[in-house]
Chains A and B, each alone.
Chain A
């Protein structure tokens, strides 16, 4: 039997009380979008090239591969790059869009070396994390590629799992996503340059898994 999401009830009550249909996404439908606001600091030339590599490899391709490995429909996740400036209130933006994760960032170019500082905003999907906004910083260098890619996949998979939990998808599905996320988090934590947020994500993933495993079937 399909359960009714709490969000649906809130939505219906809001409609009844306010007498209009509020524009709120993702109440009981999947949040699909990975929204990336084009990083600030991108000037024509090598910085643009660096962002292009970052976007193609980490966002575009990795998202497709992730859907294939997790065996979910390709339209379950969609990348949207937005060229306008990032919103000042990410929380409002996240709520009013169909987004799973919103990313804003800056790219810094010093000679041939590019580095990025990204804020990944998970909104209400932050379950188990201290804050919905995770600061990440990477250098666009070959030996940081794996860490950057795995961090991105980990964030996306964690948010996907939390969204699946919100939508009351089967516990086995949520565990499958989190189990995949745990492998990634473990690699990051044990890796040569673990991003500061990796340990917090690993802890959150493990707490969720332990809770779900105890859930009666």
Chain B
């Protein structure tokens, strides 16, 4: 039973309600607008994905010996599809609904069947995400001066591997009454229809208990695609990172990496998110960082993560009063990494400049 401690609700709210809602600092909200697609198919595909991600939300781990609390998480949906299927449109919708993430897409006929194309937008958001930004910043203080070196999350726009919707899904879920309410997660009888407006209460065995039109019932979530998809695992992992659930995020990203269908770009970023989780919990992130670099040695973002890790290690040595030769060795490594990666950075990129300022300070303090 996976219902303990799951106190979150998936809200179905009209846009004007969402836009006027206040956003507590620790609230992380994922918006899933209706997918474009024939008849009700886009709506139902979005609903199933919404509930599949919602199932992964948790306020605290079970068991919870350290009394952790990950704050509030929401998966909301919007029965209005994006006006155009673009990242820009998704980011505009995120701003209107005060959402940090938008999972959007389309169900489109192609060849003999229907393809679901799914995208994730993570626009730069104001507030609420301190848990990860703290991890991605190193403050370098020496000889009375101070430099901050910061990097961003791995990426803000994702395209997942398109999936072929199963024939039964296309045939069944094109109808508005397809998502039925049952009296039990398995077996039982039909007690109504899910409809467009519902609140998710808890989940169990691949089904979600919802309240819809004054009635409670279980919605059974079908496998949408003919092959396993990385979408739900990746989005759930990012949500968990944003909420500081480092331990819970790692198995999600490991599942994404283990999925043979996952695009290389998303695999790389899963390694970077694994590195974030390890940095946050005081573990060495070099394992996942090296894996990411093996997959793509020409990514400026991976280079940033490696350099930031080295700088963080150097500052830790300083705090612990490590001998100067040991500090100098790590400083030389930072210099080398930056030199190797210099060609990857734009001239206007503030990152290499801030690293050079930081290393100059540290070099002066060690001389």
Contact B343 A69 (CB under 8 A): no
Count of A-B residue pairs with CB < 8 Å: 91
The residues of A with any CB-CB pair to B shorter than 8 Å are 50, 53, 57, 61, 64-65, 68-69, 112-114, 139-146, 149, 170-173, 175-176, 178-180, 182-184, 186-187, 209, 212-213, 215, 217
The answer to whether B159 has its CB under 8 Å from any CB of chain A is yes
Q: Which of B101-147 contact A (CB under 8 A)?
A: 108-115, 119
Contacts A53-B110, A179-B296; is A172 near B263 (CB within 8 Å)?
no
A215 to B112, CA, bound (A): 48
Q: What's the Cα separation between A64 and B296 when bound, in Å?
A: 24
Let me know if A178 and B298 touch, CB within 8 A: yes
Query: What residues of chain A lie closer than 8 Å to B159, measured between beta carbons?
Result: 65, 69
**In angstroms, how far is the closest chain B Cβ from the Cβ of A15?**
33
- In the complex, whether B71 has a CB less than 8 A from a CB of chain A is no
A142 near B110: Cβ-Cβ < 8 Å? yes
Distance of A209 from chain B, by nearest CB (Å): 5
**Apart from A140-B111, A145-B110, A212-B343: 5 A-B pairs, beta carbons within 8 A:** A57-B110, A112-B112, A173-B346, A186-B264, A187-B263
Asked if B197 is an interface residue, CB under 8 A from chain A, the answer is no
Q: A146-B162, A179-B298, A186-B264 are in contact. Are A172 and B86 (CB under 8 A)?
A: no
- B264 and A172 contacting across the interface, CB-CB below 8 Å: no
Q: Is the CB of A175 within 8 A of B114?
A: no
Q: Contact: A61 with B85, CB < 8 Å?
A: yes
Nearest CB in chain B to that of A214: its residue? B343
Partner of A145, one of B111, B119, B297, B343: B111
State whether A64 touches B112 (Cβ < 8 A). Answer: no
Most buried by B among A142, A149, A183, A209: A142
- Asked if A215 contacts B110 (CB within 8 A), the reply is no
Which residues from B are CB-within-8-Å of A65? 86-87, 119, 159
Q: Which residues of A contact B349 (CB under 8 A)?
A: 172
Query: Inside 8 A of B88's CB, which chain A residues have their CB?
Result: 68
Q: Tell me which of A113, A142, A172, A183 contacts B343 (CB under 8 A).
A: A172
A123 to chain B, nearest CB (A): 25
Structural contact, B300 and A145, CB atoms closer than 8 A = no
The 8 residue pairs across chains A and B that have the minimum distance between CB atoms: A142-B113, A141-B111, A142-B164, A183-B264, A179-B298, A68-B87, A183-B265, A140-B111
Ordered by A's residue number, 10 sampled pairs between the chains whose C-beta atoms are within 8 Å are: A53-B109, A57-B108, A61-B85, A65-B87, A140-B111, A142-B112, A142-B114, A142-B115, A145-B162, A146-B162
